[in-house]
Amino acid sequence: EEIYHPTGGAWGSDYIDRHFEALLNEIFGEAVIRHFKEAHNAPFTALLDNFRKAKMSFFNKADEEFHRVRISNEFVEAVTKKLPPAIEQMLAEQDIDETDMDYYTHALQKIVENAAPFGLDVGHVKGNDSYLFFSTTVWQQYLFDLVINPMIEHVQKLIVTLENAPDKNGHVAPLQYICIAGGLASSPYFQHRMHNTFGKGSKYS
């Protein structure tokens, strides 16, 4: 029996992907990522697929400090093709130039080691020629929580509404169960947030 119409918002898993692209813009520059997306569409799509796999395994180990996303050689070369002068200077001081077989890897490492996305302190991003590593803070606050927080607030308001909505017989009863569904529902971190907010030990139990 349906006692209230469906509601929702822009809170699906795909919106986390958009925040990931915004994160890449913060680290490597919007123009660089836009060019990679347009000139290397297949590698960019593969990068998003790798992120989606990483996204759904984030928080499998709740105590991990960093969680990684696989990257390709095409990505490494694209984001290191035109380096900021400060990064070039750092490489030069270590006698690293384009004749070095690991030049692109060194360049990538310098970029991410000095990245301060969204005003964070340096140190929340690491990388090598195969992976980008983002701190748990980045994953939670700048990827997942931007989608999950408004969803939780909406459900909290919805609970108040539903607990005052009569059924077809005019009876009003407290809400007993919440069933989560959809792609994001299989995320360990999303489940953690939902259990913390609405599960045993919360004000709703």
Per-residue confidence of the chain (205 residues) as pLDDT tens digits?
677 788 888 888 999 999 999 999 999 999 999 999 999 999 999 999 999 999 999 999 999 999 999 999 999 999 999 999 999 999 999 999 988 989 999 999 999 999 999 999 999 999 999 999 999 999 999 999 999 999 999 999 989 888 887 777 888 877 788 888 888 999 999 999 999 999 888 877 6
Cβ-count burial of 101 within 10 angstroms (0-12 exposed, 13-18 middle, 19+ buried)? exposed
Whole-angstrom Cα Rg for the chain = 22
Residue 159, SS3?
helix
Residue 4: CA count within 13 A, CB half-sphere? 15
**CA distance readout (Å), 176 to 33, 163, 204:** 46, 10, 9
What is residue 182's predicted lDDT score, i.e. its pLDDT? 84
Q: Which helix (H) or strand (E) holds 111?
A: helix 103-113
What single-letter DSSP state applies at residue 117? G
How many whole angstroms separate alpha carbon 94 and alpha carbon 90? 7
**CA distance readout (Å), 71 to 16, 76, 80, 92, 126:** 18, 7, 13, 25, 12
How many whole angstroms separate alpha carbon 12 and alpha carbon 190? 11
Residue 67 bridge partners (DSSP): 134
